[in-house]
Amino acid sequence: MSSTARIALNRPLRRLFDYRIPDGTTLVPGQRVRVPFGRQQATGLVVETDVTPPPGITVKPILSALESWPALPSETFRLLSWASDYYQHPLGECLFTALPVALRKGRPAEQKQVTQWRAIGDPAEVPAGAPRQKALLEWLSGIGKSASDQEIIQAGFTRQQVKALLEKNLVQANMTPAQPAIAPHPVHDQQSPTLSEAQTRAAEQLARPAEGFGASLLYGITGSGKTEIYLHYLKQHLGRDEQALVLVPEINLTPQTVARFQRYFGTRIVVWHSALNDGERLSTWLKVRNGEPVILIGTRSAVLLPFTRLRAIIVDEEHDSSYKQGEGFRYSGRDVAVYRAHLNACPILLGSATPSLESYYNAQQQKYQLTRLEQRAGQARPPEISLLDIRSRPLDGGLSQPALGAIRKTLERGQQALVFVNRRGFAPVMMCFDCGHMVDCPRCDTRLTYHRRDRAMRCHHCDYQTAATEQCPKCESDAFKPVGQGTERTEDVLSAHFPDTPVVRVDRDSTQRKGSIQTILERVNTGEPCVLVGTQMLAKGHDFPGVTLVVVVNADGGLFSVDFRAPEQLIQTLLQVSGRAGRGAHAGQVLVQTCHSDHPLLKTLCEGRYLDIADQLLAERESGQFPPFRAMAIFRAEADTMEKALQLLDQIKPMAQTTGVEVWGPLPALIARRADRYRAQLVLNSDNRKRLNHVLKGICTHLDQQRLPGNVKWMIDVDPQETG
Ligand code: ADP
Ligand code: ZN
Ligand code: ZN
């Protein structure tokens, strides 16, 4: 009797499909197959074999196996199955997330081959009537190696000329992979510094591959040389034929970072990020799957790659909120990495100058081992942070006189200043001073941001935009003015104050073109005096040795937010942006403008000791019974009316209200309407994660069996980063 396999498809369905295995074919979990699906065919992944199909179902046969080996090796497969259950996301979509697009579509799992042409005949044999063919053969013989079509065209010849030579048997074609396979060694690190005493001490405390699973939280202040420690660590502990994964936030994966790793590990370094094209993705994926001894530096989704010899994981800036996927399969790259280290019985290093409260708590609970590195590397000293109360001070572009004065002095000394503004655009609102009108987004419950550079009013929550007007659209008054600060406005004011100094703006608008951030960073790294103005983008991980002054235009945004994570995120951002000051030979100074200079959180910030602040914040989390003291999941509903969204949540609320689970809501989301969709949420809390998982599963099963009114959507967010 022929046997049956259970197959996952790349569909948002919480179910699997049974197919008959053709005689003579053996399949293992993780293997790609081609199956009939409806009237079409689909790529599937084997989940289980030798299953018994439910009675009364006609089981269609699998058409073919796409390769004889599992695209997802068993460890990757287990990881994704675990994540599917933990995050309550359909298994099929989770598994397919780990495949590059080409493989999801069923293309062959092999690298594109490139034809290389080599001269095998004498140019004298080319007939006199074909001078270009002769020239091509001379060129090919001259370069002493084979050349690709592309190289031949670049040298001024054509494909037809190569073909003509091939017909005359004067050239030969060889097929080679598009990218050369990497060599496992050599390491050239003459330029790298030796670790300081403090770094060495920290490095010695870290968990090691020989000891099996172990998680180390490396708390190292900004500029303390954490990256240098990672490099030494991998060099010392990673075997020649082993793989390592280094996760970084998107913005940190700059050519400078990659170059630093390449100086140690040469061609062993491969990268994984959103800007790779499909071919590059496939090629890197295959290297990882083939077990080549790569050290892969990548962003969030790199944690799902099919490693087969993973022996060390590093998560840099482990607190960064970009590790949590915001839509679809809402996994945390950092948390999945910790589980993966478990599966591989290998160490994981979580590094940050501002560790997440979750990781810090784990360290306090002895689940992670805490290593502290509290001095800066080389000559650099930690910056001095002070608060600048701006109540009743006149401001120009958001900047007070003392702040402008400090920028002037910095530039006069030939140094660089960085001004941090938390909003892009010119101003967050336009307001009429006659009638009080403010311009709302017609599709969301938010205001439009004024972008003066392109005379537009834009919504930062949907893609709505409209032309900016000179007069109030309601009463036509001329007293229609921007209110508040955005990067563009601060840039204008700084350019007016310092006409002879370059003012460089860094935000999502100014860095949209590929490579533009690199150009900006290179310019700053020449060390010429300049003022950098920017958002979050500037706060993260960059090494600007010339910056000695950081000005924070307004620190108050996160102090009184309803989101329980807001104070943590505010302090992390402030300390990270402060950390850009004084990384070189000169001391750094940080001025934080605020209307709440007596706020206890800001006062502790000035002392610069993050763990003290973290203790304070953790105490607040504990009294509110927020994560990490309890597990949290948010059940979100979205519909074309608020009633429908709330109705769905009201319906499931009784299912969630079981012993050990506390339910808040349903309530409209902070931005209740977004892109014309109404959003509401139910928050589930429990000190028993298993129970919470069980409840979520029950609700999913219940909802899957129902026909919901059209236009109603629901989703689950386990360990949410944003609770609005
Ligand atoms: P972090 O990752 O903690 O922000 P980095 O590793 O980027 O710190 O180090 C900050 C700066 O100090 C870099 O310019 C780096 O080259 C330099 N640095 C790190 N370790 C040393 C050392 N042992 N000696 C001299 N300079 C060092
Ligand atoms: Zn008006
Ligand atoms: Zn909008």
Predicted confidence at residue 154, as pLDDT, reads 85
Residue whose CA lies nearest to ligand 1 atom number 20: 225
* Percent of the chain topping pLDDT 70: 97
Q: Choose between 471 and 142: higher pLDDT.
A: 471
Task: Answer yes or no: is the C-beta of 458 below 6 A from any ligand 1 atom.
Answer: no
Determine whether the shortest distance from the Cβ of 192 to ligand 1 is under 6 A. Answer: no
Least confident of 500-504, 628-632, 656-660: 656-660
Residue 559 confidence class, pLDDT cut points 50, 70, 90: confident
Strand duo 713-718 + 369-373: pairing: unpaired
Q: Residue 144: is its pLDDT beyond 50?
A: yes
Q: Mean per-residue pLDDT for 606-634?
A: 94
Is 435 a residue whose pLDDT tops 80? yes
For the cut 60, the answer to whether the pLDDT of residue 576 exceeds it is yes
Per the CB < 8 A criterion, the answer to whether 93 and 328 are in contact is: yes
| Alpha carbons 50 and 703: distance in angstroms, whole number | 29
The CB of 224 under 6 Å from ligand 1? The reply is yes
Contact predicate 72/306, CB 8 Å: yes
Ligand nearest to the CA of 480: 2
Q: How far apart are CA 149 and CA 162, in angstroms?
A: 9
Quote the mean pLDDT of the chain. 91
**What pLDDT is stored for residue 544 in this prediction?**
85
Q: Is the pLDDT of residue 245 over 60?
A: yes
Does residue 359 have its Cβ closer than 6 Å to ligand 1?
A: no
Cβ neighbours around 353 below 10 Å, total: 22
Residue closest by Cα to atom 23 of ligand 1: 195
Out of 232, 543, 544, 610, mutate this one to test ligand 1's pocket (max ligand atoms within 8 Å of CB): namely 543
Which two three-digit tokens encode residue 662?
């506390």
* 290-333 pLDDT tens trace: 999 999 999 999 999 999 999 999 999 999 999 999 999 999 99
Q: Which residue in 55, 24, 37 sits closest to 92, CA to CA?
A: 37
Query: Strand 171-177's sheet: what is its strand order?
Result: 147-148, 113-119, 171-177
- Identify the pLDDT of residue 191: 64
* From 13-22, 77-86, 142-151, the region with the lowest mean pLDDT: 142-151
For residue 228, the ligand 1 atom closest to its alpha carbon is 6
CA angle 329, 538, 573 (to 5 degrees): 70
Strand, helix or coil for residue 684: strand
Q: How far is the CA of 494 from the centre of ligand 2 (A)?
A: 30
Q: Is the CB–ligand 1 distance for residue 228 below 6 Å?
A: yes
Ligand 1 atom nearest to 221, measured from its CA: 3
pLDDT of residue 181: 42
| 587-602 confidence digits (pLDDT tens) | 899 999 999 999 888 8
Distance between CA atoms of 569 and 588, rounded to whole angstroms? 22
Higher pLDDT, 579 or 492: 492
Task: Indicate whether this model's pTM tops 0.85.
Answer: yes
Please give the distance, rounded to the nearest whole angstrom, from the Cα atom of residue 224 to the centre of ligand 1. Answer: 6
Rg value, the chain, Cα: 29
Indicate whether residue 317 lines ligand 1 (CB < 6 A).
Answer: no
State residue 184's pLDDT score.
41
Q: Note the pLDDT tens digit of each residue in 47-61.
A: 999 999 888 888 999
Q: How far is the CA of 474 from the centre of ligand 3 (A)?
A: 20
Return d(Cα 605, Cα 300) in angstroms, integer. Answer: 29
Question: Does the CB atom of residue 226 touch ligand 1 within 6 A?
Answer: yes
Ligand 1 near 378 CB (within 6 A): yes
Ligand number with the minimum distance to the CA of 220 = 1
Whether residue 188 is predicted with pLDDT greater than 60 in this model: the reply is: no
Examine the pLDDT at 182 and tell me if it is beyond 50.
no
Q: How many CB atoms lie within 10 A of CB 604?
A: 17
Q: Could you tell me the distance, in angstroms and rounded to a whole number, from the CA of residue 449 to the centre of ligand 2?
A: 17
Beta carbon of 203 within 6 Å of any ligand 1 atom: no
* pLDDT given for residue 254 in this prediction: 76
Q: What is the mean pLDDT of residues 497-520?
A: 86
CB 672 within 8 A of CB 445: yes
Q: Is the CB of 316 under 6 A from ligand 1?
A: no
Q: Is 405 in the pocket of ligand 1 (CB under 6 A)?
A: no
Question: Which of 547-551, 558-562, 642-646 is least confident?
Answer: 558-562
Return the percentage of the chain with pLDDT > 90, whole number.
66
Rounded to 10 degrees, what is the CA torsion of 429, 434, 440, 445?
90
Q: How far is the CA of 355 from the centre of ligand 1 (A)?
A: 19
Which-ligand-closest: CA of 580? 1
Nearest ligand (C-alpha, residue 225)? 1
Task: State the pLDDT confidence band at 183, using cuts at 50, 70 and 90.
Answer: very low
For residue 585 and ligand 1, the question of a CB distance below 6 A is answered with: no
Indicate whether residue 193 lines ligand 1 (CB < 6 A): yes
DSSP one-letter string for 62-103: P-EES-SS-SS-HHHHHHHHHHHHHTT--HHHHHHHTS-HHH
Q: Whose CA is nearest to atom 9 of ligand 1?
A: 225
Which residue of 195, 219, 227, 246 sits with most ligand 1 atoms within 8 Å of its CB, as the best mutation to test the pocket?
227
Residue nearest to atom 4 of ligand 1 (CA): 223
> β-pairing, 295-298 with 269-272?
parallel
Strand (E) or helix (H) holding 430 = strand 429-432
Say whether pLDDT at 64 is over 80: yes
Distances (CA, A) of 514 to 100, 509, 536: 22, 12, 18
